[in-house]
Every structure is written in structure tokens, then in C-alpha cells.
Structure 1
């Protein structure tokens, strides 16, 4: 896999996050189901992996499977907090973080993914409880992202994180399929 098209496909195996405009009730139900089922799926993919397999990468210069799992715990914790801020404050400014640097910290590079799986299970249980409780007015609440200077609403953010779940599940499957050989 040497050309840019192949590298792009390896980086975005499910495609880039789509622009989300008009969100239907069916979209929301589908996205919430993806978020709800993510812990089961990531645990099923990773629960029997050896340390060697956890260190397989999903693309050249990409993260290892273990880093993807730890990243999902970090990212989804941050997202739950952003949702709660948007639900309790008027267009709060959220705190961005350096995800690539977090992936290099000891906890982001640990061969023991069980704490991150536990975080994902707990965060998703609480997140889905909140998501299922929200009406259309609450889903229009917003937060400001200072890194990209954009205001996002919760409705579109549900779609972004459903994509994020599928995106990283595809990364893990890709690393397993290629046995980390890139």
C-alpha cells in the first residue's frame, strides 16, 4: 500500500466524517444505537488479543490497537463532559486536548487496556442514558470549539461520535486483518 489513495483509505477506512446537516429522528436513533453498542463491539474485538496483537498498528505511522482503545476512552470521556457542559451552560467553550500527545503518555500506551474498556463501558452507559433522555430542544444546545472556531450542536455531535465509534472499530479490524504489517 504505497500510494496516497491507499494511505487515505487506511487512515479513514469508513470514510471521513460526513458533514451533518438535517438530522432525522431515525438518524438519531441509529447513532445512539451505535454509541450504545460500541463498548460491546470494542470489547469483543480486543478481549482475547495478546500483547503482541495489541501493539499492531492499523496503518503506517498509525496508532497501535491499544492506543486506539485508550484514545476512545479519552475521547468519549471528553465528549460526555462536553455534552453535560452544553446541557447546563449557555454555549460553553470546551477544552480541546492534544490527542496524539495523550496517546504517547504511559496510560495511552499501556498494554493493559482493561481500565480503558471499563471507562468506555461506564462512560457509554451514562452517555446513552443522557442521550435517550434528550428532546429535540435539548439536542439543539451548543458548545463552542476554540480549536476550529466553530459552534456545534449536540444533535450533530451525536452523529460525529457514532462515526467516531465506527471509524476506530474499523481501525482495529484493519490492524487485525493486516496483522499490523505496514
Structure 2
């Protein structure tokens, strides 16, 4: 049962950073980020209120929470990218994503505004990502949980994974 829960938590596996991040990795990851809002929108646009309450695993988030979490997370990520581009190795501010997912706007508010947010955030984010120099791709920030220094090129991969990870959660939940 525990193995099945892990599979449901991570339907595409956990993010695995390549030993060497190539230009091709970055290009593909940016394409994933660019296309995510439309893919997510097409998965959720015809769902009923009851459908939006479906979960991808026992004790997992509802589809509405997943969509709203993506807006929250990607908004934070865009800010982190901008901080890393304008400050010298900033320590970013983490947020309590599970607590945010329990807020009324994550559980009981229409997902429409989050879809709109994702469309706008990803449009701006993609423009920045497509125009990063090699020096900018190597800029870093510190994530205080574990004091890990993360490069922007690695974070592009993490967020491409994040897009696919949660898109799969929605697809799985729709079947439940």
C-alpha cells in the first residue's frame, strides 16, 4: 500500500537533476513551462464542482487545490527567479504550501482566476527564460530548507517537472 501511495504522490517520479544540464534540456524544460497553462486548462475546463473535489490519492489535494497550488507555487517561483537575477545569491522565502492549500481560496474559490494567473505568469516567465544568458542561467539562490544553493538552470528543470507532476495529479484525479 505504501508503495502505491508513493506512486500516486509521484506519478512521474521525483525530479532527477541531470549530471550535466545541456542547452537541449533547458530548451525542452522551457517549452514544458510555456505550454503548461494551456495543458492544465484543457484538463479542467469542463469539470463540474464535484469533479473539482476529486483527489489523486487518499488524503491528497482536490483538483481545485492542485490548480490553485500551481498558481501559488509558480507565482513564488517567478519572484525567486527575479530575485536571483537582481541580487547576489539571495536566500529566498519559502512558504507553507500545505497550509496555503487549506486556505479558502484554494479549496472553495473558482479555479478560473488561478488559470488566468498561470497564463499571465507563464507568459512573462517564459519570456524571461527564453532570454537568459549563460551567466544568468548559472545565477543561484539559497533555499533555506537545507541551505541548498540552486542555479536558475536547475530550477527551470525543477519547475518543468513540477508542471508535469501536477498535470498528472489532475489526470489521475479525474479518473477517480
Whole-Å separation in 2 of the counterparts to 1:105 and 1:32: 30
Whole-Å separation in 1 of the counterparts to 2:128 and 2:68: 23
TM normalised by structure 2 equals 0.98
1:95 aligned to 2:90?
no
TM normalised by structure 1 equals 0.95
In the alignment, what sits opposite 2:141? 143
In the alignment, what sits opposite 1:123? 121
Instruction: Tell me if the contact between 2:53 and 2:63 (Cα under 8 Å) persists in the aligned partners.
Output: yes
Instruction: Tell me if the contact between 2:17 and 2:157 (Cα under 8 Å) persists in the aligned partners.
Output: no
Q: Deviations over 1:120-146 (max 9, x none)?
A: 000000000000010111000000111
- The CA RMSD over aligned residues, in Å, is 0.8
Aligned residues: 176
In the alignment, what sits opposite 2:54? 56
Whole-Å separation in 1 of the counterparts to 2:151 and 2:48: 40
Instruction: Tell me if the contact between 1:17 and 1:163 (Cα under 8 Å) persists in the aligned partners.
Output: yes
Q: Deviations over 1:35-70 (max 9, x none)?
A: 000000000000000000000000011000000000
Q: Deviations over 1:94-136 (max 9, x none)?
A: 0000000000111111241001001100000000000001011
In the alignment, what sits opposite 2:150? 152
Structure 2: state its 5+ residue gaps: none
In the alignment, what sits opposite 1:18? 16
Whole-Å separation in 1 of the counterparts to 2:160 and 2:108: 25
In the alignment, what sits opposite 2:36? 38
Query: Which 4+ runs in 1 deviate beyond 2 A?
Result: none
Find the residue that maps to 2:50 and give its secondary structure.
helix
Structure 1: state its 5+ residue gaps: none
